Structure formats: structure tokens, C-alpha cells
Amino acid sequence: MKSWLGDTWLTLTYILSGALSLVVLTSISPTHVPQQALMFVIGLFILLYLAHQDSAVYKTFAPFGYLLSLILLVATIIFGSTIRGSTRWIPIGTFQLQAGEFVKPLLVLSFAFFLKLFPPKTFKNILINTVLFAIPTFLIFKQPDLGTALVVSSIWVAQLFISGFSYWLIAGGAVIAVLFAESLPRFLKDYQLKRLETFMDPFRDPLGSGYNVIQSIVAVGSGGILGKGLGHGTQSHLRFLPERHTDFIFASLAEELGVAGSLLVLVCLGTLLYRLLSLATHTQSSSSRLIYIGVFGYLAFQTFVNIGMNIGLAPVTGVTLPLISYGGSSVLSTAIMLGIASSCAKADKERSLIEIK
């Protein structure tokens, strides 16, 4: 394929996912289509631009990216606008900048840099990496934004897993996490606790906290094999399904396009995940491998959690479906990550050609 596409698989799946998102939005929320289309076009240019830059630039920029992420998160707390009890957005004209989304690619680079600089094979290095992870995660958690905090955690854990960290220590950390889970309710807001209770039994409060999940399950189940057709989804068009264009867009899509449309989403995002794993497996660069796995951790976690909460298999956490859900900040953040991953893939390909010669 043409070299201007960057990594062909990453670029084409970005385009196909974006097209599918616009098709669904045209049906369920047409007023959001122009801005989403604009963000996808801008994101595509960003992806292609970043893909053709030297990947060494990103690895050098990583420590500065970490400082920038902290500045963005602190600025959100100070200057951010509060919507539904959460301070996650910085108003810039008519655009609401969700700093947590742009922090994700910065932290993918930063965590990869620090894990290579301080290999987690000694207690000192493990402590350093844990502190560097905990600071931005705590700032995100305090917004409060549990969903993004969990996404950042998934990025760090995925990178930690392949950085030489002892499996015994991973097992020990899992035991500590289980023990900590008992005291977790003390750190959560009331609405976050409600979400966990709803996950266990959504029918306990069918007209209150369980309403979203129940309506989502109904939407998914009523789609059948081929769906009701675009524009004919009752759950979304009659407004029974809240957040039909963001958190629960998969349910809207499943109702109108059925199993066929749902499988198309899974194929697009599954191809992205497979390609990232393939690149991570074949690269000779430990830094690139950490970056690939960081992007993989982000996409995999958000995909599985979002689809899981749409079908009642995961608690509602406000995590969007990458490249499918409406949201300019999320689209641009994902485009940045895929652009950086494409740049690393380009460097790996050039390196292999030099070795062959």
C-alpha cells in the first residue's frame, strides 16, 4: 500500500471506524454529525502527520509530555467547568477540551520512557514508577473521573507487564488490590457506588440507577440479526436510552444494525488491537514495544468495558467506545496514539530493511 498511509492497517481501521460512527450518528443524533466529521478529518491529518515523523522525537519528548499532562490536569481543576458534578473540561470558545483524553497519549509515552529509564526490577525503581503513575491518576480520580483513571491504570499495568516486572510481584499486587477493594467504597462518590450496586442487580431500581443499563440491554436484544434499520430504533429515537450517542452508542448501533453491525464494530476495533499486538511482537525496540502495548491497553480496556456495560456485563463507568462514540477530544486523542504507533512501525520497518541489506 502507499507509504503516505502510514501503517496501512492502523490508518484504514481508523477511517472505517470513523465512517461507521458517522453513519450511526446520522441516524440517532444528526446534529452532532458535523462536529464529529470535522474531528475525524482533523484526526486523520494528525495521524498521518505524526506517522511520518521520526519516532525518536516522541521518545525524547516523553518526560516533557509527563510535565505537560500534570499541567493540563491541574489546569482542569483550577479553570475547568463543572458538568454533572465532574470538573473534566476546560472551555475554549465553543469547544470543551477534555484534558483527561489528551493526557492519555502523553502518559503512554511517559510511562514507556520511565519504565525503560527505571526498569522495575528493584524495589527503588518499582517505587519510582508507582509514584510517577499515581500522581496523574490521583489528579484524574479527584475530578472525579473514575473511568479515565481506570483507563490510565490499564495503560500502565499493560506496559508494566512486559517491562520485566516480576510475575511474583504482579501476583502480590493483585492480592493487595483484592484486599484494598474492601475499603474502596470509602473513596468513591455516592453515584459511583450506585453504579456498582446497579451492576450487581440493575432491576433493584429499574426506574432509577438501573434504568440506563436496562434500556441498553433492551436495545441490544431487540436488534436481532440485521437490526431494525437506520432511523427505526425505538430505544434511541424515543429517548428511552440516555447518552445514546456517547456511552451507549453501541446499544443504539446494535438496535438499528443488529448483530451484523455489532460484528463490524468488533472487526474494526479487533483489527486495531491485533495489529498493535503484532507490531509489539515483531519489534526489536523495547521503547516501541512499550508504546504499542500502552496503546493496546487503552483501546482494549475501553472497548471491552464500554461494550460490557452496554450488555450488562460491566458496571457503567462513563468510558466511551474508541472511535465510535461521539466526542472530539476522544477522537483526537486516539488519532494521536495511532499516529505515534504508526511512526514507530515505520521506524521498525526501516530498521529491518537496513539489517537485511
Q: What are 62-97's pLDDT values in tens digits?
A: 999 999 999 989 888 887 777 666 677 777 766 677
Q: Helices marked H in 52-83 — which ranges? A: 55-79
| Contact criterion met (CB below 8 Å) for 242 and 35 | no
pLDDT at 229 over 80: yes
Q: Tens digits of per-residue pLDDT, 132-174? A: 999 999 998 887 788 889 999 999 999 998 887 766 666 666 6
Q: How far apart are CA 11 and CA 13, in angstroms?
A: 6
**Mean pLDDT across the chain:** 85
Neighbour tally for 247: CB within 10 Å = 25
Average pLDDT over residues 32-54: 94
1 pLDDT exceeds 50? no
pTM: 0.88
Q: Distance (Å, rounded) from C-alpha 224 to C-alpha 228?
A: 8
Over residues 277-294, the mean pLDDT reads: 93
